[in-house]
Structure 1
């Protein structure tokens, strides 16, 4: 698209000739949408072009087209580039990408293993077995291995158990790699000084937050995690609702899990006091989400200042 908004050329680009297209328009501005596989496309184009990655959720709010197709999306991206109005999405570094691949890979394997555990629960229910069994525990495994079911259900049960064992082996392999990576990073070593934060949760937080210097203040990282409250104002009225839930769902999840451990198991004095004070007037769920936000604010200042966890009023 030229400076006047007229389409200069329209072409369907295959991954194989990205280099050719990029070289032809070297020095130009370009935009791509942040899809699940945009890293390779971004890196290839960036060799020759000034590339910005557009945030899909914000693009949907800006675009006013009734029809969504690749051609319409491309025209909208070109228009936004011409106007300098592309809603930018964060492009992680190679190191952050590697960390994300490890923790997200483990998360996917855990979810897949859980699916097969649920299949076993369904199998037991179908045969009137009401005993509560945990297929991932030692006791549950022993019970299931001794259980006699009619054919072909016995074969199904045996197969599901074998699949679970395979997933467990692969998860353990990834955990070794995750632990090694967490031990080698300054950011994750700092995060592991927080009660309730393990090498896995530390690497997950690091991977999802990315480089901390891209945030100017703690409010920005809280908003990035979707833990900021939604505020509605009308006239003289001001209403503070639930959290926005925009941004990384995995980051919100792990912060909540770490907060639960810090409050209920690790007895983190700083977070426990905050949680108990809120719980006197809010639900437990609201209190723990607010505690997760409090934890993230501490994390921002720790990483920004390169300091270990030492909140005010609590001895190290």
Structure 2
């Protein structure tokens, strides 16, 4: 089926012969009528689109399998000069029959719901950023100096904003944007509460939160993007899935040229990993030492991306081996966990009852954890100083040839 917003073109492959079966409206009623014409042994192939998951849910109980194809890889494999809906549907059928169809992993209902919540929150955050940028643009247009306070949109910043001289129409626009920010803040708080409630008992989310720099938002985003970690046979597969692997160009006997990262895959998860990398780079520990080592060679931007890749590999090992981060700071992890509980709407603990997160408020205990992390950072630095750079392959070949001649 080559599906669109309003209809789907159907082509049937049977014993090596293709035949056109007409169109089906993209409504639940039409799909339920179409499924009566299918046999329990049939297999349905569709491309990944906005409504492909809904089509899969409707048809799955009545057929042997519903396969969702990767449209980018299908386009790369089968490039046709003549492109119609019938040709596209026939291409999907032929590729699947030949065993060359690149298939997309289908998440379960819980993972799909979590992905929707994470994506919706991401859109709200982006909308808030656009609104804030519009206010900053208005101020810059009328030569208003930079706000002396840390945040322009907190209580002190807004009081300063009211005192600035701008035209009346711009004042109305600023007030409108402030109201929009307040509304978006309420939407984001509601989404945060729903996300926290959904992952309260998720072991994978709590495990990833033991990593320095990874909070609840990043941990949920990574878990939602990964889904079933067993489908990635190696950490390099997960790195490629997030688009953090470098592009490689090599032909003939020439050397391989490594370029920028591919940025193919889940861009939302990749952005959150880079954000977590910046946070991990500021905290003491082996991750900070890794960031400093790469920054000395390639600069801070490349170092942040390299650290995001390192975090991806670390996430794969923690999830597959079912272990917490070795250099986790217990008090900091307890503070993250308590923040997740409060975000989910759990009652506050008042009185003399002190939970495990209380230790993070004690400076002596917090400094003790920090000293342990700093010692781990020094151990990592001593460990990597013993590394020796590998010689180029051409140099290795010359050495081998010289040894053979001798």
TM-score (norm 1): 0.91
1:157-209 deviations in whole A, cap 9, x for unaligned?
A: 21111111111111112112222333321110101111111111110110111
Taking a change above 3 Å as real, the CA distance of residues 63 and 92 of structure 1, as seen in their structure-2 partners, is same
User: What CA distance in whole angstroms lies between the structure 2 residues aligned with 1:10 and 1:241?
Assistant: 46
Find the counterpart in structure 1 of residue 25 from structure 2. 13
* 1:129-140 alignment runs, 5 A limit: 129-132=144-147, 134-140=151-157
Moved more, 17-26 or 7-16: 7-16
Larger radius of gyration: 2
Contact 2:20 2:86 in 1 (8 A): no
Unmatched 5+ stretches in structure 2: 1-12, 329-374, 378-406
What is the alpha-carbon root mean square deviation over aligned residues?
2.2
Please give the alpha-carbon distance, in whole angstroms, between the structure 2 residues aligned to 1:159 and 1:222.
42
Output aligned runs, 1:282-293, within 5 Å. Answer: 282-293=298-309
154, 161, 166: which one aligns with 2:171: 154
Question: Could you tell me which residue of structure 1 aligns to residue 94 of structure 2?
Answer: 79
- SS of alignment partner, residue 195 of structure 1: coil
Unaligned runs of 5+ in 1: none
Q: Which moved more, 1:196-205 or 1:120-129?
A: 120-129
Pairing 1:25–2:35 present: no
Residue 227 (structure 2) pairs with residue 210 (structure 1): yes
Please give the per-residue CA displacement for 1:243-302, whole angstroms capped at 9, x wherever unaligned: 2211111111111111111111x22x2212222222222121112211111111111011
List aligned pairs for 1:95-106, cutoff 5 A: 95-106=110-121
Q: Which residue is equivalent to 1:172?
A: 189
Per-residue deviation at 1:67?
4.9
CA contact (8 A) 1:197 1:258 kept: yes
Q: Report which stretch shifted further, 62-71 or 180-189.
A: 62-71
- Counting matched residue pairs gives 313
Q: Distance in 1 between matches of 2:146 and 2:281?
A: 32
Take 1:294 and 1:131, find their aligned partners in 2: how far apart are those partners? Answer: 37
Q: Report matched runs for 1:271-310 at 5 Å.
A: 271-310=287-326
Work out the CA distance in 2 between the residues paired with 1:4 and 1:239. Answer: 42
Under a length normalisation based on structure 2, what TM-score does the superposition of the two structures give? 0.72
Is 1:3 the counterpart of 2:15? The answer is yes
> Quick check: 2:242–2:266 contact (8 Å CA) kept in 1?
yes
The Cα offsets for residues 124-181 of structure 1, whole Å up to 9 and x where unpaired, read as: 2333324348543443322223445433332222111111111111111211222233
* Residues 125 and 210 of structure 1, relative CA distance in 2, 3 Å threshold: same
